[in-house]
Structure 1
C-alpha cells in the first residue's frame, strides 16, 4: 500500500490507501470546521475569501487566508521534498515519512490543546492545512496523480466525466480501466463522508472535541504498521520459497553428479 509507486500499483493498493487517507481527511475536515469554523482539507474557499478581501481593499484581513493557502502549499512542498531527498536510501520506505509527520502533527495538536488555552486558533488551522498538504502531495505522488483524498471538487468532476463515458462504449475501448477508476473515486467519496460523519459523532456526541484528532492519527499509524507487517510477511514467504527452490535445485544437481560418477566408475 505504501511501497509501490505509479504504474506498478494495483487497483487494490490504490483503494486501500485511498480509503485510509480519505477517511482521515474527512475527520480532519469536520474537526477543523467544528472547532474553528474553517475548512482544513482544501484551500478553494480560502482563496475566494482572500480575493474578496483584496478586491475590497482590506489587505490586512485577507492576509490570514493567504497564510492558510501557503500552509497547504508548504505541506505539499515539504512532502515532496522529503520523498525526493531520501529516495536514494534503499533501506528506507520514503513514502512513509509524510504519513508519520502528519500523524505527529495531529497527535501534538490534540495533546497541546488539552493543556493550554487556544489564544490563536489560526495557528492550529495552519497546522491542519499543512498536514493535509502533506497527505495530498504524498498520495498524489505515490499513485501518479490517480488518487486525491483531501478534497472532492476535482473528484466529482472526474467522476462525472467518467460515468458519462460509460454511455459511449464505442469510443472507449478500455472499459475495464474506466470502471476501475470510477470504483476508486466512489470509494474515496464514501470514506471521506464516513470519516466526516465519524469525526462529527466523536467530536459532538462523544464530546472528545479536538481529541478526535487522536482517532485520525491512530488510523494513520495503524495503516503504516499494518502495511509494514504485511510486507515483511510477504517478503519472508518469498524468501522461503526461493530458498526451497534453490535447495531443491542443489539437491537435483548433487543427485545428477552422483549418478555421473557412478556411471564413470
Structure 2
C-alpha cells in the first residue's frame, strides 16, 4: 500500500481541483446569463419544476425535466467509467474534460449548449475525485459551506478538526466565483463560451501533464472503495 502523495504532488493535484471549480463557475454563470437557468446544481431547477406545474407552464416543466434527466445521465456516465471507486491516474479524466471543451466549442452559439452543460456538469460532479482520502465535488458548493461550518465548529470546541479542508473548500469557492466573474464580463462581449471551452481544454491538458511528468504520485490500492468516508479513496487522512 502506498503512503499517499508528497507535498509537491498534493500541490499539483490541488491546483487541478481548483481549475475544475473555476470551470464550473464559468459554466454556471454563462448559462444563467444566456438561458436564465443554472447547470452546476439542480436544487433550484427542481423547485422551479414545482412552480411550473403549479402555474401551468408545461413547456418550462419539460425543459427543466430534460435538464434534470441529462444531469442524471451525466452522473450515470461517470458511474460507469469510475465504477471501481478508485482515484488513480486514469486517462479517462483528461479525455472527458477535453471532450467537454470541444463540444462546448462546437455548441457555443447554439441553444443546445445549455442541455449539454447539464449533462456535462452531472458527469463532472460524479467523477471520482479525491484529496487526502476525502471525496470532493467540483460543480456546486452547498456541501462545502456545510463542511466548512462543521470544521469551524470542531475547531472552536477544541476537538479534532481538519484545517486543510477549510482551506481547500474556501479556495474552491473562490475559484468558482472567479470563473463566474469571468463569465459575467465575457457574456455581453460574446466570448464566454470561448473562455469556457478553453478552460475545459486546459483542465484536461493539465491533467495529462500531471500523468506524463509524474506529478500525480503512486496509484491507490486496487480494491473496491465506498464513498462517504475519510478513507474512501485509499489515501491517508492527514490532519493539519
TM interval, short-chain normalised: 0.7 to 0.9
Aligned residues of 1:18 and 1:187 also touching (Cα < 8 A): no
Contact 1:42–1:150 (CA under 8 A) maintained in structure 2: yes
For 2:94 and 2:217, locate their aligned partners in 1 and report how far apart those are by CA, in whole Å.
22
Larger radius of gyration: 1
Q: Secondary structure at the match of 1:41?
A: coil
CA distance, structure 2, for counterparts of residue 188 and residue 146 of structure 1: 14
1:223 aligns with 2:231: no
Deviations 1:217-242 (A, max 9, x none): 2321232222122218979xxxxxxx
TM-score, structure 1 length as denominator? 0.68
The two structures have a TM-score, normalised by structure 2, of 0.75
**Is 1:133 the counterpart of 2:128 in the alignment?**
no
The SS at the match of 1:146 is: strand
Distance in 2 separating the partners of 1:133 and 1:10: 31
Deviations 1:6-41 (A, max 9, x none): x94678366233212101111111222222222111
C-alpha spacing 1:112/1:84, structure 2 compared with 1 (3 Å): same
Would you say 1:189 and 2:173 are equivalent positions?
yes
Structure 1: where are the runs of 5+ without partners?
236-265
The C-alpha deviation readout for 1:83-109, integer Å capped at 9, x for no partner, is 23898xxxx943x41442233133223
CA contact (8 A) 1:110 1:212 kept: no
For 2:22 and 2:65, the matched residues in 1 are separated by 27
Q: How far apart, CA to CA, are the structure 2 residues paired with 1:107 and 1:38?
A: 22
In 2 relative to 1, CA 209–27 (structure 1 residues): closer, same or farther, beyond 3 Å? closer
| CA root-mean-square deviation | 3.1
**CA distance in structure 1 between the aligned counterparts of 2:94 and 2:118, rounded to whole angstroms:** 14
Residues 1:199 and 2:194 aligned together: no
Q: Which runs of 5+ in 2 are unaligned?
A: 219-240
Which one has the bigger helix percentage?
1
Quick one: higher RCO (CA 8 Å, sep 6+), 1 or 2?
Answer: 2
| Count of aligned positions | 212
In structure 2, distance between residues paired with 1:204 and 1:155: 30
Show the 5 A alignment for 1:94-109: 94=90, 96-109=91-104
Any conservation in 2 of the 1:20–1:223 contact (CA below 8 Å)?
Answer: no
Quick one: structure 1 residues 106 and 34, their matched pair in 2 at CA, closer, same or farther if it must change by over 3 Å?
A: farther
**CA distance 1:196–1:55, shift in 2 (3 Å):** same
Q: 1:203 to 1:222 in 2, by over 3 A?
A: farther
> 1:62 maps to what in 2?
61
* Alignment partners' CA distance in 2, 1:44 and 1:233: 34
Q: Structure 1 residues 98-107 or 20-29, which shifts more?
A: 98-107
